Structure 1
Amino acid sequence: MRILVWHVHGSWTTSFVQGGHDYLVPLTPDRGPDGRGRARTYPWPANVREVPHDLLSGEDVDVVVYQRPHEIELARHWLGRDVPGVYVEHNTPAGDVPKTRHHLADRDDIPLVHVTHFNELFWDSGRAPARVIEHGVVDPGCLYTGELPRAGVVVNEPIRRWRVAGTDLLPAFAAAVPLDVYGMRVGGLPAKLGVVDRMETFEDPPQSAMHAELARRRVYLHPYRWTSLGLALIEAMLLGMPVVALATTEAVEAVPPEAGVVSTKVTTLIDALGAFAADPELAAQAGKAARGAALARYGLGRFLSDWDRLLRDLV
């Protein structure tokens, strides 16, 4: 099957393109949001091919995977014809959340796939044929050493996404355990937060390098207030890291009690960070449980099988 999919969410797409299909990713001259082409910091297989957007009409595409509203018309324009499609909703709703209707809520011709049950619960999907296909994550391997009594954090654009990402909470966490923050546009964060001596930042490292470095940290901190489910959390669990997370997202389903601490009480989370940092054996035991839980629920095989069943129904 030939599948057209935009490079929007690198971690999710990295898992999606591991299936046995041919994947076409649009390419624009500026490699902008509508045409990034192949990933440069994620390991994608050879069956992912970037195609200049103005040549897509000559490609034999079977299915289009939409991830943003405007892609529906963009695909029709670039392909020059209608092709069966499915819409993946990665994000939680914004605004008046209990009343937020999905932009496909008044359509029944495009299947709507939520990546978590949390998403499905909070979006009003209307009459769109909605279902959940939970995340699957490429296993980076159990790399955990926990040799550094520090906490690792992965967040993109923490200043722009201030309260959403829980950036405002980081000084309180850093007071308990030094933090190392990885992601896009994180460079000015320590000065912005006033914790220069308690925080290091690492700007947009390649995924494999980030995993190797994260695994040296004693514990993983997931400070997000509002998101569907950050895949960095699952990746950290697969690395074998214990987890400390806000109980405000799908994290409450992803992280069992033996794998870490999930709470809405910041002081509880601060205490948990301190406990893991001070006790390598406790951290390693929780990290082992975290890896087992992530493998059981977010294995790549189940994810790809779920998607294959849906894709077969579309064509």
Structure 2
Amino acid sequence: MRILLWHVHGSWTDAFVRGRHEYLLPVLPGGGPWGLGRAGRDWPASVREVELASLDADAVDAVVLQRPEEVDEVARVLGRRPGADLPAVYVEHNTPKGDFPFTRHPLADQAGIPLVHVTHFNRLAWDNGAAVSTVIEHGIPDPGQLYTGELAELGVVVNEPVRRGRVTGTDLLPAFASVAPLQVFGMKTDGLAAATGVDALRLTSRGDLKTQELHRELARCRVYVHPMRWTSLGLSLLEAMHLGMPVVALATTEAPRAVPPEAGAVSADIDELLRCARRLVANPEEARRRGAAAREAALERYGLGRFQERWDELLGDLAAEPSQRGNNGLDERILVPARERKTP
């Protein structure tokens, strides 16, 4: 299939475009959110940059939407309405914002475009209304078991921690810095030590490293800390588990499902997380053992093969004639629009 999608979420796209289809990514001279294209990424030749305005509408077999505005943009430029005369699916990457748990999804009042949530928590948290919804969990290209844990330090990966504050658990970093020095990776981490009041000797901002360098440097840290309060899941957590790192994570959103107890600690009790982090920093062998358990769990649930199989099933179903479509493993109760359901 020839699939149109924008390069919106780099890590998710990195897994999605490694499938067996042809992927068309709009590109603009200035790049930006509507024209990023490949952005220099080392992706397969099946990932093509296209100028949307000059793209033959018949050259697109399906569109993967990731922002509500894309529905109208595709219809305007290609003259084909997603969900009506162009097979379409909408990927929801994020937890709801605003009046949770009453936040209604932007596509909740239609039934032509199925919603694919990247976590079970997301599907539960959003009010999906009449829209068909399912979950296809993340898939991670395996970076390999790179963990050395040679540094008695804690690794954290977070983008814009100063601006996002409590959302990303930035206020919790001083407590973790009291256990061991922190290495914080991600976009716009400059000034983080000063913003959190942590001594610069206890918190090093590493910045936004290239993927391979990030994996190599992160894997040197003894423990991975996931202090996120309200994010969908965080692919950095799954990458750390693939690397073979032990994990200390807040028991919020999808983390309790993603991280098994034997991989480290998952709790809403900060003191419990601090005790576990301290113990793992002091016991390299236990850290290595728990990291191996984290990697095993990540490979089983978040392997790239499983991710691509689920997407192939769904895309194949979109391309089929209506009479030939299956339910792609969707819960039968979800297939029925809410207004047509009968109360048991």
Matched, 1:164 2:167: yes
Q: Which residue of 2 aligns with 1:101?
A: 104
Amino acid at match of 1:266: I
Distance 2:265 2:58 in 1: 49
Distance 1:312 1:297 in 2: 22
Question: After superposition, what is the alpha-carbon deviation per residue over 1:159-190, rounded to whole angstroms, capped at 9, x for unaligned?
Answer: 12111111111111111111111111111211
Distance 2:138 2:165 in 1: 25
Q: Which residue of 2 aligns with 1:12?
A: 12
Q: Which residue of 2 aligns with 1:61?
A: 60
Q: What secondary structure, in the 3-state scheme, does the structure 2 residue paired with 1:97 have?
A: coil
Matched, 1:211 2:219: no
For residue 99 of structure 1, report the CA deviation from its aligned partner: 0.8
Matched, 1:242 2:246: yes
Q: Which residue of 1 aligns with 2:28?
A: 28
Task: Between 57-66 and 28-37, report the one with greater CA deviation.
Answer: 57-66
Count of residues in correspondence between the two structures:
314
Task: Between 43-52 and 29-38, report the one with greater CA deviation.
Answer: 43-52
- Which structure is larger by alpha-carbon Rg, 1 or 2? 2
Question: After superposition, what is the alpha-carbon deviation per residue over 1:194-253, rounded to whole angstroms, capped at 9, x for unaligned?
Answer: 222211112211111100111111010001001111111000000000000000121100
Q: Which residue of 1 aligns with 2:314?
A: 310
For residue 89 of structure 1, report the CA deviation from its aligned partner: 0.4
Q: What secondary structure, in the 3-state scheme, does the structure 2 residue paired with 1:146 have?
A: coil
Asked if structure 2 preserves the Cα contact closer than 8 Å seen for 1:151 and 1:177, the reply is yes
Q: What secondary structure, in the 3-state scheme, does the structure 2 residue paired with 1:220 have?
A: strand
Describe how 1:216-235 pairs up with structure 2 within 5 A: 216-235=220-239
For residue 310 of structure 1, report the CA deviation from its aligned partner: 0.5
Q: What secondary structure, in the 3-state scheme, does the structure 2 residue paired with 1:208 have?
A: helix
Q: Aligned to 2:134, which of 131, 138, 144?
A: 131
CA RMSD across the alignment: 1.2
Amino acid at match of 2:166: R
Distance 1:309 1:286 in 2: 34
Task: Between 182-191 and 207-216, report the one with greater CA deviation.
Answer: 182-191
Question: After superposition, what is the alpha-carbon deviation per residue over 1:68-99, rounded to whole angstroms, capped at 9, x for unaligned?
Answer: 11011112223232321100001000111111
Describe how 1:252-291 pairs up with structure 2 within 5 A: 252-291=256-295
Task: Between 69-78 and 304-313, report the one with greater CA deviation.
Answer: 69-78
For residue 58 of structure 1, report the CA deviation from its aligned partner: 5.8
Q: What secondary structure, in the 3-state scheme, does the structure 2 residue paired with 1:176 have?
A: coil
Matched, 1:84 2:83: no
Amino acid at match of 1:67: Q
Asked if structure 2 preserves the Cα contact closer than 8 Å seen for 1:14 and 1:43, the reply is no
Amino acid at match of 1:37: G
Question: After superposition, what is the alpha-carbon deviation per residue over 1:243-292, rounded to whole angstroms, capped at 9, x for unaligned?
Answer: 00000121100111100100101111111111111110010000000000
Q: Which runs of 5+ in 2 are unaligned?
A: 320-344
Amino acid at match of 1:69: P
Q: Which residue of 1 aligns with 2:340?
A: none
Asked if structure 2 preserves the Cα contact closer than 8 Å seen for 1:35 and 1:53, the reply is no
For normalisation by structure 1, the TM-score amounts to: 0.97
For normalisation by structure 2, the TM-score amounts to: 0.89
Q: Which residue of 2 aligns with 1:192?
A: 195
For residue 155 of structure 1, report the CA deviation from its aligned partner: 0.6
Q: Which residue of 1 aligns with 2:336?
A: none
Q: Give the % identical residues.
A: 61
Q: What secondary structure, in the 3-state scheme, does the structure 2 residue paired with 1:106 have?
A: coil
Question: After superposition, what is the alpha-carbon deviation per residue over 1:125-144, rounded to whole angstroms, capped at 9, x for unaligned?
Answer: 01101011111111000000
Asked if structure 2 preserves the Cα contact closer than 8 Å seen for 1:10 and 1:39, the reply is no
Amino acid at match of 2:269: K
For residue 59 of structure 1, report the CA deviation from its aligned partner: 6.5
Q: What secondary structure, in the 3-state scheme, does the structure 2 residue paired with 1:241 have?
A: coil
Distance 2:184 2:19 in 1: 31
Q: What secondary structure, in the 3-state scheme, does the structure 1 residue paired with 2:152 have?
A: strand
Distance 2:240 2:261 in 1: 16
Distance 1:43 1:191 in 2: 36
